[in-house]
Copies of this chain bind each other. A is one copy, B any other.
Amino acid sequence: MLSKGLIKLVNSLDNKKYRQIHKLFIAEGTKLVNDLIKLEAPIKTIISTSNIERCNQSIEYIQCNSWELEKISFLKTSPEIIALVDIIENDFNINDLPGKLSIGLDSIQDPGNMGTIIRLANWFGIENILCSNDCVDNYNPKVVQASMGALIRVKVHYIDLPDTINELIKFPDYQINGTFMNGECIYSSNLQSNGLIVMGNEGKGISEMVERLVTKRISIPTFSDKFNGAESLNVGVATGIIISEFTRQININNPRK
């Protein structure tokens, strides 16, 4: 049986304000919770419909009925397990960025896109994602579901994007790569590991303030036979293609696979 207080707490975690007050986010589903356990995420509470193995003394385990779990779940299909996880505060130190590749997100709104990009960063070994303050919150339940375990392995920083880029361009040879429809073709452009890849908002693209700071304009060429400008790529997919091409060029002489 779940207490009223716990139900109220879980329900409140749909809201960024309450996630920040409680310093907690919610992760749902067997696969995701198992991944988080494997990754030693700071899980506070596990609520489950079955009697699960208590593998960690510091975690509070609560068993409940499936209809109770359904009541607190944010998913369409109610999961068998939900975890409350401590929010990790990532310290942002701009000096960590030079010499490596990072991602900059300018007003990304869709939780699915944000989650996809966090998974991509984890897959390609990118440690830091810089988000403009108006990006969707990375602990939004839909972002958590879409990012899978990657959420706790990649550092996502919410910062003033133009201000931060203004500082970054002071580092020697640091590139601000911006993705536009009319940039250099990524396949023939010389892509560098020392820089930021900026992806713009789903509808409006990169904001004017950030565009002015871009040092390299890149684009994914289209091979559509009857191109008429209606073509577009989802921003998550575009980010994947661009990071893959950076990775290929950077590792061309040193594949780690």
Please report A residues at the B interface, Cβ cutoff 8 Å: 35, 38-39, 112, 116, 119-120, 122-125, 146, 148-150, 153, 185, 187-188, 220-226, 228, 230-234, 236-238, 240-241, 244-245, 247-248, 251-252, 255-257
Task: Given the known inter-chain contacts A38-B228, A123-B224, A222-B124, please indicate yes or no for A244 contacting B247, CB distance below 8 A.
Answer: no
Q: Is the CB of B123 within 8 A of A187?
A: no
Q: List 27 A-B contacts (CB under 8 A).
A: A119-B231, A119-B232, A119-B233, A119-B234, A119-B237, A120-B233, A120-B237, A123-B220, A123-B222, A123-B223, A123-B224, A125-B223, A125-B224, A149-B230, A149-B231, A187-B248, A187-B251, A187-B255, A188-B255, A188-B257, A220-B244, A221-B256, A223-B247, A223-B251, A233-B240, A240-B241, A244-B244
What residues of B have a CB within 8 angstroms of the CB of A225 in the complex? 125
A221 x B255 contact (CB < 8 A): yes
Residues of B within 8 A of A124 (CB): 222-224
Question: Would you give the shortest CB distance from A36 to chain B, in whole angstroms?
Answer: 9
The 4 closest A-B pairs by CB, nearest first: A125-B223, A221-B257, A237-B240, A241-B244
A234 to chain B: which residues have CB within 8 Å?
116, 119, 146, 236
Known contacts A221-B255, A255-B221, A256-B221: A233-B123 contact under CB 8 Å: yes
Partner of A236, one of B122, B123, B226, B237: B237
Q: Are A245 and B247 in contact (CB under 8 A)?
A: no
A182 CB to nearest B CB, Å: 10
Known: A119-B232, A221-B257, A244-B244. 14 other contacts (CB 8 A): A116-B237, A120-B237, A122-B231, A123-B223, A124-B222, A185-B255, A187-B255, A221-B255, A222-B257, A223-B247, A237-B237, A237-B240, A240-B241, A244-B245
Q: How far, in angstroms, from A39 to B38 measured CA to CA in the complex?
A: 49
A121's closest neighbor in chain B, by CB?
B224
- Bound CA–CA A227/B33 (angstroms): 17
Residue of B nearest to A154 (CB): B224
A241–B149 Cα distance when bound, in Å, is: 21
A232 neighbours in B (Cβ, 8 Å): 119, 123, 148
Residues of chain B contacted by A153 (CB below 8 angstroms): 224, 226
